[in-house]
Structure 1
Amino acid sequence: MTQHSATEFSLTTVSAPSTLTVRVGGELDYDTSDELVDTVVARLAGPPAPRHVRLDFAALTWIDSIGLSALLMIHRHTRAAGAALHLDHRPDVLERMLRHTNVLGHLTAPVAAGEPGPPEEGGVTGAVVS
């Protein structure tokens, strides 16, 4: 488990065999969004590469448009890695943002069969995993 601390923002990462969970606390905005994206992207590189990325927002207090942009960037990276993105424990402020911008379905859509994913253990890099 890794703990990042800041005055109004915190990230806690927990890795399990096929799942990366990142607990986000405080304000996700211009000053903090890069740290969240960088953390997820670094963990997506593995090994092992997670099949599921769970962002836990139980302690989120605020999100702005840059925070939403960070979620879209994370979606891009998880999709490229063939991992499913989950947005857990969404507080009202996040729920309103996702519904108002109509991106909730986009961010949490299942990974389609045939999309590239992380190679299976002992597999060939670049192989399509269904």
Structure 2
Amino acid sequence: MVATDRQGAKAFGFAPYGATPDEDYMNPRQEEHFRQILLAWKLSLMEEVDRTVHHMQDDATNFPDPNDRATQESEFSLELRARDRERKLIKKIDEALDRLETHDYGYCEGCGVEIGIRRLEARPTATLCIDCKTLDEIRERQRG
């Protein structure tokens, strides 16, 4: 099973980060912890994309029965939609890796506060602290 955006560190067998009381937020050890999580996640997604390509190549059959063709096209369509979501997720992972390189990872894009280790382990691509994310969701519901 491929990790979704909410599975984070646990999906790849990474233990929760054990911070010491006096360590700085997003120090090199923390950055490396999240880099490893993000890279493992990206690798897993890329392997799933490869499996899909091979599956579609191997299973592509020109069925004489229109119902069989329709079923196959429907299955392929569902698979391609899932891969499109994963492609977008890979882009988010790459953006998170870029933020790690510039030492901006772990800080809220809305207000600049620390997002927090546990939130980032639950959602490694998070760009907003919980308060800003909550406000963002409230605004979205009001618009929708």
TM-score of the superposition, structure 2-length normalised?
A: 0.26
Which protein is richer in strand relative to its size? 1
TM-score of the superposition, structure 1-length normalised?
A: 0.28
Which fold has the larger relative contact order, with Cα–Cα distance below 8 Å and residues 6 or more apart in sequence? 2
